[in-house]
Structure 1
Amino acid sequence: MTAEHTDRSGYTTPAPVRELWLQTPVREFTTETGDRRWLVTGMEQVRAVMADPRFSRAEARRLGAAIGPAAVFRNTGINDLDPPEHTRLRRLVAGAFSARRIRGLRPRIQQITDELIASLVAAGPPADLASGLCYPLPVTVICEILGVPGEDRQRFRGWADRVVSTGAYPPEEALGALKAMVAYMAELVDAKRRDPDESLLQDLITARDEQDRLSEDELVTLGCGLLLAGGESTATTLGKGLVALMDNPGQLALLRADPSLVPAAVDEVLRYTTLGVHPYGGHIRATTSDVDLDGTTIPAHSVVHACLPAANLDPKAFPDPERFDVTREGAADHVAFGYAMHRCLGAQLAKLELEVAIGSVLAAFPGLRLTVPAEDVPYKHGFLITGLRALPVTW
């Protein structure tokens, strides 16, 4: 497969893969390396895979098929576990991401956003919104939640880029960054034991030291995983969402005329854009037994790709799905955050960050526009997530 297709969200896939999305929602296929796998693309079918415990993340890792930041760790991360182990770790951090606690973060998220925008205004146009807003906002927020000192955040960003590399950096460089990040997290845990604070990482330390609810390795791996998940994915979605708005001036005008549409627009951004985490679509599972899905039997120990981007573009779920529409009814039914037991813990936090950032950008820059055509916005490739290298704008 050599031909490629790049959509307006920067998601690049081999053209035959895109064709598979448009065919039957459950089908067997052959990867570029000759592996036989199963591709699930319909919204109904993807949800079934995500909710059915017979489609196992742990089995996928055992077969060597799981990808994602957790897959590079020596120890299994939360996203590579099935219940009851997954449930145990998820409960440890769920409270930090409750709706009440996330709502309480709005003033601080707004303050961070205002400070970043003020710096952009002071420097004047043109500007790079990727480096000036999209990346520093979520990284700052997740670091504050976990209790990562401000002076260490840029160092972490360099490690994170390499850890999630799938070719952008040499393997030995990625492995070195991983080792450095794990060592740093272990040191941070020790520092908080000596000087406790009120961070989420401190809560996990308490669960380890006083309640024996997780191991030391699980503590360190979970801390690294939360940092990785809380920064890049939200930054990428924010950047791609702003591109989509500027590339659809009619929709941008609607949002400017009625800022109350921002929450609905965020759901449409999440549905319309994609993180590009894998050529076949994201969440990988493996069957623990024969499973009948939509009238097709998938044999036991088969690797299954639940293609979230395709599900979000399923015309049965979203009429005219490739149209960007901030007033779309039912946009919130997307599966950008996953579904069921593996739905992203930080979904509400990410949505809040997106709402605050998009609303603030539109208010601060009434003449905001791209300085290049939307199709020429530069994207990063060779990473688990296809993020923006830059977002060049003026106003």
Structure 2
Amino acid sequence: MTTDHLDRSGYTTPLAVRALWRQAPVREFTTDAGERRWLVTGMEQVRAVLSDPRFSRAEAGRLGVTIGPAAVFRKPGINDLDAPEHTRLRRLVAGAFSARRIRSLRPRIQEITDDLIAPLVAAGPPGDLAAALCYPLPVTVVCEILGVPHEDRERFRGWADRVLSTSAYPPEEALSALTSMIGYMAELIDAKRRDPDASLLQDLITARDEQDRLSEDELVTLGCGLLLAGGESTATMLGKGLVALMDHPDQLTALRADPSLVPSAVDEVLRYATLGFRAYSGHIRATTEDVELGGMSIPAHSVVHACLPAANLDPAAFPDPDRFDIARDGGDHVAFGHGMHRCLGAQLAKLELEVAIGSVVAAFPGLRLAVPTEQVPYKEGFLIAGLQALPVTWRS
């Protein structure tokens, strides 16, 4: 893969992402293996790739393109499928992530957040917000929704780290973790069949056993996929969002003065801060026929990479896109994707970010990074470039 937009760990750098929209919104690039592919960076064109059925997720799989960790499951996951198979699986879980049901979770998410922050406040500065809040909050929430026992959460996080690894762990260790995760999920499903509860996983079991709406492999894969998706991405965005706020003290001051800005601040975080997927790997499709896009002719059976971070910095969509502005009307971003594959847990992730960011700003007066921004440590060798730690200090 070309290296002009990569840092030493293989991730798209923020500077490079911000430069991509200055180039052609649709263009060819060459991988290290000599493959010709297409990179799409304009907002209008990215939305087209993610919503037009001629850009197919399943076709990319048929061409042998690996699409994230789900590609190593025994069966294609929900994100590897096109309609109607994708639609069938999505409908099974969509109800659990409805706006009404997500809103009902706010008191519990607030309670979890308060419990996680309290020891840090009691201990006094400095502290590590990544370990104390950013990682445990989303994992706790998604495990409660799915019905994963509390005592198993740390074990699952160890597996998730390895499954989401690109080079941090040897391939055989990642595969072993995936095998363990699949085995654990199968055992948990059996346990819930013997002792039913009110979890989302129980709803999926009912859909499998009583309605025959999915296979056993699909049931296990969905459970694993929801756990994976519900943890690392939200943790990463929370950490990077807090870094962005502390790196822009005027915005942090404005948010502290007016907490009603929290929802728009979250949207700006999602627009401005990239998850850090490895270059060109995040949203991959392949064309099922010749397609005209952005003034370019893309041949059938071409692999296309939609760069969401660059689209979120497209000046045609967001004036002065390099400026971090929590009062911006930035809700039209594509941080959660677009079209049929838009992230099912988008509303849940936004709620967690709203509760966590609002609570941190209120609980830690004078909050600031304890190290220079460039010294905040990031995890290397993972699909998502999360924070290894978030060292902060504040007025006690």
State if a TM-score over 0.5 links the two structures. Answer: yes
SS of the residue corresponding to residue 246 of structure 1 reads: helix
Distance 2:179 2:258 in 1: 48
Q: Offset of 1:16 from its aligned partner? A: 7.5
Instruction: Please name the residue that 1:365 is paired with.
Output: 364
Instruction: Please name the residue that 1:61 is paired with.
Output: 61
SS of the residue corresponding to residue 297 of structure 1 reads: strand
1:1-395 paired onto structure 2 within 5 Å:
1-2=2-3, 12-13=12-13, 20-280=20-280, 282-329=282-329, 331-395=330-394
Q: Offset of 1:111 from its aligned partner? A: 0.2
Q: Write out per-residue CA displacement over residues 302-324 of structure 1, whole angstroms, 9 at most, x where no aligned residue.
A: 00001101000111111111111
Aligned in 2, Cα 1:85/1:2: closer, same or farther, shift over 3 Å?
Answer: closer
**Segment drifting more, 26-35 vs 98-107:** 26-35
Gaps of 5+ in 1: none
Q: Offset of 1:202 from its aligned partner? A: 0.2
Gaps of 5+ in 2: none
Aligned in 2, Cα 1:255/1:20: closer, same or farther, shift over 3 Å?
Answer: closer
Aligned in 2, Cα 1:221/1:32: closer, same or farther, shift over 3 Å?
Answer: same
Distance 1:298 1:2 in 2: 23
SS of the residue corresponding to residue 250 of structure 1 reads: helix
Q: Write out per-residue CA displacement over residues 255-293 of structure 1, whole angstroms, 9 at most, x where no aligned residue.
A: 011000000000000000111223026200000111111
Equivalent pair of 1:247/1:374 in contact (CA under 8 Å)? yes
Distance 2:275 2:17 in 1: 16
Distance 2:38 2:28 in 1: 4
Q: How many residues align?
A: 391
Equivalent pair of 2:51/2:340 in contact (CA under 8 Å)? yes
Equivalent pair of 2:128/2:391 in contact (CA under 8 Å)? yes
Equivalent pair of 2:20/2:310 in contact (CA under 8 Å)? no
Distance 2:147 2:266 in 1: 27
Q: Offset of 1:12 from its aligned partner? A: 3.6
Letter in 1 for 2:358: G
Equivalent pair of 2:38/2:302 in contact (CA under 8 Å)? yes
Distance 2:373 2:179 in 1: 37
Q: Offset of 1:89 from its aligned partner? A: 0.2
Equivalent pair of 1:4/1:14 in contact (CA under 8 Å)? no
TM-score by length of 1: 0.96
Distance 2:220 2:75 in 1: 10
**Segment drifting more, 333-342 vs 25-34:** 25-34
- The percentage of aligned residue pairs carrying the same residue is 82
RMSD between superposed Cα atoms in Å: 1.6
Letter in 2 for 1:146: L
Letter in 2 for 1:38: W
TM-score by length of 2: 0.96
Q: Write out per-residue CA displacement over residues 365-388 of structure 1, whole angstroms, 9 at most, x where no aligned residue.
A: 011110111111110111110000
SS of the residue corresponding to residue 333 of structure 1 reads: coil
Q: Write out per-residue CA displacement over residues 10-65 of structure 1, whole angstroms, 9 at most, x where no aligned residue.
A: 96449878755421101111012211100000000000110100100011111121
